[in-house]
Every structure is written in structure tokens, then in C-alpha cells.
């Protein structure tokens, strides 16, 4: 079996609690739970999405001890000792993949907007610098970022920038929070901070994903994960 578009849409519906689905959650728990992951992010909205990402690696031959979705998620940093990621896949001395799963909801989108930006930047910069310091001795670490923006009037409406001594870039002028995050995620990719980014908008009323930027859609994100798996397979990872 492969990870399908329907799997993705079902996982997103489960995020909003809009669709009662077990999907393969129990199977994922059983596969990665023995002595490693325990319950998959018990009680968290991102349970199904974490399981969906784990499925890519389970089906590629990674073992239970390689995939962590609840415990053992702490990875070394450079500017701080450790940081907990949301899904971690490691085999031998190679960090196969580490994922951040984040969201921004209303009604006051501005309250946490800067926090989300700073979290994503800080996590990537810290780990990339730790890799340069030799803390990940295997193949170069691969990072993925999955972000859900609640689709609501507050996230679609233009946002004013404050007047300051120095002007902001024109691209930000009048941009909604949805548009701001599109720009942000595109720049995360162009700067090489993350190897793959999936950015969607969605809501509990209509959980079907809206993908505002083609290069940040689920199809590209899934393809990047498969490409990472294929690349390491050619290098003999995972070892039988």
C-alpha cells in the first residue's frame, strides 16, 4: 500500500474532528509502539497526520525503533541542548527525517503569528548548525514542515503593517495572514532551511485542504518524502 491523497484528506478531517476515522492509527501504534513511540501523540489533533507521515517510512522498510512519534523526539541543537520535534525517523547515525507539525487558528490570528514564524526558523537554524558541528554524523539531516492555517475571515483579510523608521518589503503590504504564510513558507524552502514544506488552509466547517501555492502542496511534499527515502535506499539505508 502507498500513502494516497485520500489518506491525506482523511487525516486532515480527523485533525478537525470533523470525521470519525480510525484509519491506520492502531496499526501505526502497534508498529512503532514497542519500546519506542508509545501512544502516537495521545489526544493531540495531529495524531493522524503524524501517523500518515510514519506510514511512508514503515512501508519503506524502516523498523519500529527507527520511527518515533511520541517519545524519543528530542534532537540535539547548537544554540540549546535539545529540541523536541513532532515526528523523527533515524537509522544508525543518520537523521532520516524530522518533521514539525504546526497550525495557526483564530479568531485572533495575530496573537500567535510571530510565534509560529520564530518557532519554524529557530528549529531549522538550530538543527542545521548542530549538523555543521558534527552532531549528526551520518547523511545530511532532512527536515519537513507541515502547516495548517485555519481558513476564516480573519486569516483571509488584509493586514496592515505598523509604521516604523524603516519600510517593510512591498510584498508584505496588505497581505493577509494566509498570504504572509505563503511567502514565509516559500522562503523557508528557497533558503534551504527545510527540505519540504506543506502549507494548506482548512477549517472545521470544510476540512478539505486548500493549497494556495503549488510548490507547497501535498503532492510536492509527499514526492519530497519519497525522494528522500529513495536517495537513502540507494546508499543502503535502511540496512536489512
- What is residue 26's predicted lDDT score, i.e. its pLDDT? 54
pLDDT in tens, 75-102: 999 999 999 999 999 999 999 999 999 9
Question: What predicted TM-score, i.e. pTM, was given to this entire model?
Answer: 0.90
Task: Give the whole-angstrom CA distance, residue 126 versus residue 80.
Answer: 8
Secondary structure of residue 238 in the 3-state scheme: coil
Percent with pLDDT over 70 in the chain = 89
Question: Buried b / exposed e across 218-238, counting CB within 10 Å, b at 16+?
Answer: bebbbebbeebbeebeeeebb
Count Cβ atoms within 10 A of the Cβ of residue 98 and give its class: 0-12 exposed, 13-18 middle, 19 or more buried. Answer: buried
Q: Could you give the residue ranges of the DSSP H alpha helices within the chain?
A: 5-15, 25-32, 47-58, 110-132, 153-156, 177-190, 218-234
* pLDDT computed for residue 215 by the predictor: 97
pLDDT for residue 30: 60
Q: Which segments in the chain show pLDDT lower than 50?
A: 19-23, 33-43
Residue 137 phi/psi, 5-degree rounding, is -75, -15
pLDDT at 72: 82
Instruction: Give the model's pLDDT for residue 64.
Output: 87
Amino acid at each position: 500500500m502507498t500513502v494516497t491523497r485520500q489518506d491525506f484528506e482523511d487525516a486532515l478531517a480527523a485533525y478537525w474532528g470533523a470525521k470519525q476515522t480510525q484509519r491506520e492509527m492502531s496499526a501505526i501504534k502497534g508498529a512503532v509502539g514497542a519500546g519506542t513511540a508509545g501512544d502516537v501523540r495521545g489526544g493531540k489533533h495531529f495524531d493522524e497526520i503524524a501517523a500518515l507521515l510514519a506510514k511512508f517510512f514503515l512501508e519503506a522498510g524502516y523498523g519500529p525503533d527507527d520511527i518515533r512519534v511520541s517519545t524519543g523526539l528530542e534532537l540535539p541543537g547548537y544554540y540549546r541542548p535539545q529540541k523536541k520535534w513532532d515526528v523523527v525517523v533515524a537509522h544508525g547515525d543518520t537523521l532520516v527525517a524530522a518533521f514539525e507539525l504546526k497550525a495557526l487558528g483564530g479568531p485572533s490570528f495575530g496573537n500567535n503569528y510571530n510565534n509560529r514564524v520564530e518557532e519554524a526558523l529557530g528549529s531549522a537554524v538550530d538543527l542545521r548548525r548542530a549538523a555543521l558541528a558534527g552532531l549528526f554524523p551520518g547523511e545530511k539531516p532532512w527536515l519537513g514542515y507541515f502547516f495548517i492555517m485555519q481558513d476564516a475571515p480573519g486569516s483571509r483579510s488584509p493586514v496592515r503593517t505598523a509604521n516604523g523608521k524603516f519600510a517593510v518589503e512591498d510584498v508584505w503590504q496588505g497581505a493577509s495572514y494566509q498570504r504572509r504564510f505563503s511567502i514565509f513558507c516559500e522562503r523557508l524552502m528557497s533558503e534551504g532551511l527545510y527540505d519540504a514544506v506543506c502549507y494548506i488552509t482548512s477549517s472545521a466547517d470544510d476540512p478539505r485542504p486548500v493549497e494556495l501555492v503549488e510548490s507547497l502542496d501535498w503532492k510536492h511534499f509527499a514526492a519530497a518524502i519519497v525522494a528522500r527515502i529513495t536517495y537513502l535506499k540507494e546508499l543502503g539505508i535502511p540496512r536489512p
